[in-house]
Structures are given as structure tokens and as C-alpha cells.
Chains A and B, each alone.
Chain A
């Protein structure tokens, strides 16, 4: 019986599913520098020219925030991101803005701390940041999630401008086009929210312009391209919606093909952000499939599959073959490696061997492919011959070549 108790509690220890495991933030480039949220929840700066981390540039300077799931966003001289951790079911999240030059908070003391999970990418419009949250832990009667508008100006008296309660947790992050922000929830609701500086708004909830009910939870990011929204859900579907033709709340059955909208059956959960180029939408799924979909009709052109989950969006890049270059997708695999897939027919063209799972989006910078692997390393490869050129441990800063 003691053995049973022991095994039970060993099992509990193995399945501490309440604390995030480090996240899957990918690198973003600004000039010669890359910025990445590491697996401790620090935002770190990597000098691509020297191949070293800048140890003096790190936020927070002490313990990390826990986990960072989204890429940082660079606007002008500043960079914005989020991170969180949970101890049991008490979560501590932080939304922060830093000076690119110094790595210090633009709000003086630090970021905006909220007792919540902060997973998705921040959206930016002018001086306002937009963030989606889960329930706020110290608000017992609060909503299951919120859309926050945050004043990003350094001299802001109050950081939170306003917020709107959502119908569920939000992991999707915020996409912004013009004066409209888009955010989705785990209840499967996509919100279009007026984020203009209008003074005639009596209640923040009046800013909701319309909603759309998808079949399943929307966990992944939303892509906004030329007035169209592209996203997937855990109902195994990918969607294209036309922003201009929407004004009222609607649901799956009301997708209007006359406005170029469509729903694609992906047969597996879609978490990664759809990628669009030259009239083709690339939808990736958690069962390792990539579907190339005709943007105008929503019909499938080809599909391919790799080993492992595709959690983050693939990256489009030019692959050199002799004297010619061909367009390809660098697809991160949650099992191992980054796979090179032809955009023409989905053929496997090669592989960037990471020997580690990859759940973040790879970055192409100066003819190199940079990958944040799930063990916390940043590895970079030649785009032309796919050989590894370097590796640095994003926690300690040491080389791991």
C-alpha cells in the first residue's frame, strides 16, 4: 500500500501541469541584433554579427518571468513583450516595454503586472498596446479573460487605458489593422474591437464591433493581410474572413463565400499562424501536416506532412540551388529539426538538423536561419547548404556548437 502511495505521488510530481514549461518564443530582428524570449522568461539580445549574447542586456535582470510563448514586437526605439509563470494555480504575468538601446523599462519601475497567464503576442497601434489575458487571479468575480488597452507612453499616469471582458481565456494574441484590433478566445469567439481614440465610447464593451463564432477554441495567432483575417481553431478548421463585409456578429454557418471567405477542413488542430504569399495560404496543423490552400477559392493545392507537431508558423525563404533560388518553407517540428518544404508541390527539399524539438517560428536574417530550440538554445544555419554555423545557450550565454 505504501508502494501505491509512493507511485501515486511520484506520478503527481511528474505531472505538474500547472506551471508553464518555458514557452516557444522565436527570434525577431532589429538591425544586426536579434531579440528572443528565453525559456526562463528573460528577453535577451543576441548580436548576430559576433554570434554572442549581450550579457548586459537582459530583462528582467533578476529571475525570469517564467515562460514566453510569443515573439517580442519592435516599434521604433522600443520593444514589447509578455511573460508569466504560475505557482500552483496562482499566476504572475508581466507586460513590459523596453528601450532597445539599454534594455531598461520605458515605464521606469517595470512593466504592468497582472495575476494572469499572458500567452499571445502584443498588438500595437500608435501609443497603445493591446494584450489578451486569461482570468485575473485576484479578481474572484471577474471574467475568464480580458482585452487590455495599455498606454505605452513613458509618461503615462495610468498604464491601463481600458479593458473589455472576454467570454474565455485568450491565448491568440492581438492583431491590429487600422483602428481595429482582433483577438480570439478559447471559447472560439473572434472579436473585432474598435481601438480608435474615440471619445464617444461610454463603456469599453461598446467598442466590440462584431464577433465570429468558430467551431472550436482559437488558440493560435490571427494573421491580418490586406483586409482579410486568417486563423485556425481546435475544431480542425482554418478560416479566411473578409473584414470589410462584416458588421454584425455571426457564426461558422454564416461564412460568406461571395466576399471571398472560406472555411478549410484541416483534419487536425490548427495552432500555428497561417502564412500567406502569392495567393497561397499555408496552414499547418498539430498532426504535422502543411496544407497549401488557394487564397481565392479555399481549395487545397497540395498537402505535405512532417514528423511532429507544428505549433508555430513556418517561415518562407529563398533556397539556393546552384545558380537559381527557389521559394521554400522552413517548417519547425515539435519532434526534431526544421524541415524544408517546396512551396510548389510540398516536396521535402532538405532539413536544418537541430536535433531538438522546435516549436518557435524560425527567422531568416542575413542568409542565415535562426532557430530557438525547445532545450533553450539558439542555433543558426546557412540557408544555402543547411549546415549549422553556430549555437548559443540563451540562458547562460555559453556556446553550444
Chain B
């Protein structure tokens, strides 16, 4: 266990802490700028992993109908049939160039980097005598920033060491909201469409739960950490925009305001209810961006997908009709 601690310290913590300190020296003794620039650099360094992960997820999404078909084909069967199903599934993955763990790999590589960075920020701005004394063990002796400790923690009127809850107005409320909103947007852009209702439900839960949780926890984070999370999310959104082409503002708007078509439909329903009549709605291709993306993928990748889409939208129409009557 000790060896892992040593590796963690030497490979992750010390390089990060020393880089943050060096940036502090270069960037006018401003630790806030140092955090932002380092976040950008790390995000840029991880673009190949992000792109790879996104491509893998897209490919995985594209073969979902075929995968579902295989699962349906062998549903309820046991023994050799199960083995056959596994073999067909693996064949499908191979043909599509998808690694079942390909989506997770980049994420697993990124996780220690994010956690390390997060801890590096906390350790570089210690607030106890112990933390300060221990910091000396983490600096390289050649690092000129060592004599600048303790770093100036003020950034745009915010003390990066203190908890967000202790920050002055409007930062104490603004930071959690911005962290939550930026995380929501990033989640929205990275969540891939799915036809599996259970997965869809999970995605929806994650889409809302994560930002709310992080927004709430931000209240009790040191402000420097909140700045890091916020900028990490913002940069993540920008990268996703270039990688996936999804429009962040449009997605954000849709999540809260709905699309033109859905708004028109709702208005028509309200008007019909007021008039005491029932309307038959037409399927809204933009009802949710998730469905929208889903259909786009299906359209591109499978001849069946059009039929599925018709069935799905048909079901949706029937549901609405029932609801409306």
C-alpha cells in the first residue's frame, strides 16, 4: 500500500503542485489565474482521450439497435444459446470497431488526474500549520516558487482558501449556481442518446442529480476548488462542442424552455382543453434533444432505425392522445 502512496505522490501530486506553483510565479502571483491556466492545460492534454472516448461512445450508440436485436433473439434462452449470443455480440463489437471497455478506459485514466489536481489545489493552499509544513516535502528543491509560499489566495475579491459559504455576496451564491449550471450543460452534451428506457431514466437522473449535488457541495468547498470545477466544466463544454458539434446554448435552452415545436404543441393543447375539444398531436421530432440525437444516429446507421423511430413516435403520439382525451 505504501508503494501506491509513493507513486501517487511522485507521479501525480508533486508534478501538479510544482506546476501550479510555477504558474503562480509566471502569472503575476495570481493563484486564481494559475488554477484556470492549469485546468486549461490539463484539459487540452487530455483532448485525445476525450475524443477517443466520445468516438467510442458514438460507435457504441450506433450499434445499439443491432445489440438489442441480438438480445431479443436470445431472450429467455439458456446454455449454448447464451454462448452464441455472446459470440454474436463480440462479433458485432469487432465489426463496429468498438471495445466494450473502450468508453471507460479514457475515463479511468482521467480520474486520477482530476482527483490529483483537485487535491493539489487544496494542498498548495494549506490553511493549517501542519498543511503548510507538509507542503515543503512536496516542492522540488529547484522550484523558484518555493520561496513565494504561502501563495496570495485573493482572486477577483474572493479568498480561494476560504469556503464558498464564507465568501462575500454574490460569490457565495453565484459560484454554486455556476458550478451546477456548467455541470448540467456538460452532462447534457456528453450524455449519448439511448433507446433503452432504463438507461434513459438513469441518464435523466444523472443529468439532474450530478449538477444539483455538485452545486450543493460547492457551498462547502474552498473557493479555489469551486473555481477549478467551474472552469473545468466550461472548458469541457467547449471541447465537447468541437468534438461532437452539439450547440451548448441551444441544448441549455431546450432543457428549460423546450423547442419551438413542443411549445407550439403545448399551446395547442392548452387551447384545445380550454375549448373542451381533443386534439391529435403530431410527433415532435425535436421534443427532446436526446430523442433527436437518437433518431439521427439510428437514421444513419440502420435501415431498421426508421421503423423503430416510427414505432417510437407512434407510441408517443398514442400516449399523448390518451392523455389528451
Query: Which A residues contact B (CB, under 8 angstroms)?
Result: 1, 4-5, 7-9, 11-12, 15, 17-21, 23, 69, 86, 88-90, 119, 140, 169, 171, 186, 215-217, 219, 234-236, 267-269, 271, 286-287, 309, 311, 334, 359
Contact = CB atoms under 8 A, between A and B. Distances in A.
Given A5-B213, A21-B130, A286-B137, 10 more contacts: A15-B122, A88-B163, A89-B166, A119-B129, A219-B132, A234-B149, A236-B147, A269-B136, A309-B136, A311-B133
Complex A-B, nearest 5 residue pairs according to Cβ-Cβ distance, in ascending order:
A235-B147, A286-B136, A216-B147, A89-B162, A269-B136
A9 to B, nearest CB: 7
A15 B122 CA distance: 8
B155 interface: no
B126 interface: yes
B220 interface: yes
B211 to A, nearest CB: 11
B27 interface: no
A236 B141 CA distance: 10
A15 B136 contact: no
Contacts of B146: 234, 236, 269
25 contacts: A4-B107, A7-B115, A8-B114, A8-B118, A11-B115, A11-B118, A17-B122, A17-B128, A18-B163, A86-B127, A89-B127, A89-B161, A89-B163, A90-B166, A140-B168, A217-B150, A219-B129, A234-B146, A236-B146, A268-B136, A268-B141, A269-B136, A309-B137, A311-B133, A359-B133
A258 to B, nearest CB: 26
A22 B217 CA distance: 26
Interface in B105-145: 107, 111, 114-115, 118-119, 122-123, 126-133, 136-137, 141
Nearest to A140: B168
| Chain B residues touching A, range | 35 or more
B46 interface: no
Contacts, number: 90
B128 A19 contact: yes
Interface in B131-181: 131-133, 136-137, 141, 146-150, 161-163, 165-166, 168
Contact of B165 (A88, A271, A309): A88
B96 interface: no
B40 interface: no
Contacts of A268: 136, 141
A69 B133 CA distance: 12
The binding surface of chain A is classed by DSSP as loop
A215 B132 contact: no
Nearest to A359: B133
Contact of A5 (B119, B127, B150, B210): B210
B128 A286 contact: no
B37 interface: no
Candidate in B150, B162, B210, B221 with the most chain A CB atoms within 10 angstroms: B150
B59 to A, nearest CB: 20
B175 to A, nearest CB: 15
Interface in B179-232: 206, 210, 213, 217, 220-222
Contact of A171 (B129, B165, B166): B129
Contacts of A286: 133, 136-137
